[in-house]
Amino acid sequence: MAQVSIIGGGSWGIALAVLLRKNGHEITVWSALEREIAMLREFREHKMLPGVKLPEEIVFTTDDREAVEGKDLLVMAVASSYTRETAHRLSSLVAPRQKILNVAKGIEEHTVMTLSEIIEQEIPQADVAVMSGPSHAEEVGRGIPTTIVVGAGTKATAEYIRSLFMNEVFRVYITPDILGMELGGALKNVVALAAGIADGLGYGDNTKAALITRGITEIARLGTAMGGKFETFCGLTGIGDLIVTCASMHSRNRRAGILIGQGKTCEEAMEEVRMVVEGVYSAKAAMELARKYNVQMPIIEQVNAVLFEGRSAAQAVKELMLRDKKLEVSDLPWPEENR
């Protein structure tokens, strides 16, 4: 039995708290938001996970020391825009080589750093790992079979974290490719906005399949240029997570996209979804990275234009359809070129 703290009381942190408790671990949930902890304590349910009862043994706290000291694992589950501030706040309490598992998805806008890079910068003494994959909290909370990946700096850390989480409904793979995992997890949210926009415009399955397929091509192009492994983008944290986010009614990025496709502004859509829409924050960072690594990302570019430059969603789709004519796979030779 391990002592685990969940840092952040959102739907993902709470679904993981319930899973880990079922696996027999001692769980503390910490949040910087007093109101959030008070609600969880009082109702022992998260509003996004109706019917998922929070076991009595789970401890809820806003006390930093209680959350960090003596824990075998800290699970960072705050929205990505609070990752740095939260890591900074807790840093002095973290012991050398204490394990931290980041489960949020995003890229910091002004630094274009991944979330594990931010945590390592703020808490250099920690042993930082990440978890990502196609895994909506609403389904994990209900015990629906789910597969996920843990990436870590050493195999021993990855295996240890896997041993805490894995059970008959939660299958955990491990990988050393943390960067590929994090880029896949963050960038798929931007493509999911595009998929939602297409749904909001009333387009169909053909358009969705095109966005998913060309979307993962863009993600892998940037991801490999940055040092991620191509195979990672073909796996659960790449195409797997992109499929679930573009197709699921649980996806907040897709839901925000639908509202934008129907004519709402980005701010109105975020307000209506009422949960973190990570793709909006990662979109600018993705564009910045595309420029830095000289990689073409036309879908990401159009999403940015719709979100931040006032381009209409219909015009963005037209621009994608009529851009320069291309080969599907850029370096495949034609037979006549081999003669």
Ligand X SMILES: NC(=O)c1ccc[n+]([C@@H]2O[C@H](COP(=O)([O-])OP(=O)(O)OC[C@H]3O[C@@H](n4cnc5c(N)ncnc54)[C@H](O)[C@@H]3O)[C@@H](O)[C@H]2O)c1
Ligand Y SMILES: O=P(O)(O)OC[C@H](O)CO
Cite the annotated binding site for substrate by residue number: 105, 252-253
Burial class of residue 226 (count of CB atoms within 10 Å of its CB; 0-12, 13-18, 19+)? middle
Q: How many beta carbons lie within 10 A of that of residue 335, not counting itself?
A: 6
Please report, in range form, the residues annotated as the binding site for sn-glycerol 3-phosphate.
105, 133, 135, 188, 241, 251-253
Among 8, 215, 228, 235, binds ligand X (CB under 6 A): 8
Q: Given the complex with ligand Y, which of 120 and 182 has the nearer CB atom?
A: 182
Q: Given the complex with ligand X, which of 82 and 173 has the nearer CB atom?
A: 82
Q: Which residue is nearest to ligand X (CB)?
A: 10
First to last CA, the chain: 66
Please report, in range form, the residues annotated as the binding site.
8-13, 105, 133, 135, 137, 188, 241, 251-253, 276, 278
Q: Given the complex with ligand X, which of 84 and 201 has the nearer CB atom?
A: 84
113 φ, ψ (degrees, to nearest 5): -90, 150
| Contacted entry of ligand Y, ligand X, none for residue 77, CB cut-off 5 to 8 Å set by kind | ligand X
**8-state DSSP, 320:** H
User: Which CA distances in Å does 171 have to 144, 167, 168, 174, 314?
Assistant: 11, 6, 7, 10, 40
| Contacted entry of ligand X, ligand Y, none for residue 60, CB cut-off 5 to 8 Å set by kind | none
| Contacted entry of ligand X, ligand Y, none for residue 36, CB cut-off 5 to 8 Å set by kind | ligand X
Q: Report the alpha-carbon distance of residue 16 to residue 53 in Å, rounded.
A: 13
Going by C-alpha positions, the residue among 185, 8, 191 that lies closest to residue 114 is: 185
User: Which CA distances in Å does 57 have to 28, 42, 232, 252?
Assistant: 9, 14, 37, 30
Quick check: 91 and 64 in contact, CB under 8 A? Answer: no
Burial class of residue 321 (count of CB atoms within 10 Å of its CB; 0-12, 13-18, 19+)? exposed
Q: Which of residues 238-277 bind ligand X (CB under 6 A)?
A: 275-276
Q: Given the complex with ligand X, which of 248 and 296 has the nearer CB atom?
A: 248
| Contacted entry of ligand X, ligand Y, none for residue 241, CB cut-off 5 to 8 Å set by kind | ligand Y
Minimal distance in Å, beta carbon 112 to ligand X? 16
Q: Which stretch binds ligand Y (CB under 6 A): 34-42, 134-142, 202-210, 221-229?
A: 134-142
Q: Does residue 136 touch ligand X according to CB under 6 A?
A: yes
Among 5, 28, 135, 232, binds ligand X (CB under 6 A): 135
188 is catalytic: yes
Among 120, 182, 278, 301, binds ligand X (CB under 6 A): 278
Q: Report the alpha-carbon distance of residue 195 to residue 188 in Å, rounded.
A: 10
Q: How big is the site for ligand X, counted in residues (CB under 6 A)?
A: 26
* Phi/psi-derived region of residue 202, left when phi > 0, alpha when psi is between -120 and 50, beta in every other case: left
Q: Which of residues 26-85 bind ligand Y (CB under 6 A)?
A: none
Residue type, 75: V
Q: Among residues 71, 99, 188, 208, which one is catalytic?
A: 188
Minimal distance in Å, beta carbon 104 to ligand X? 3
Quick check: 168 and 143 in contact, CB under 8 A? Answer: no
Give the x-and-dash track for 139-168 against ligand X (CB under 6 A).
Answer: ------------------------------
Catalytic sites, residue numbers: 188
Name the residues that contact ligand Y, by CB under 6 A.
Answer: 105, 134-136, 189, 192, 241, 245, 251-254
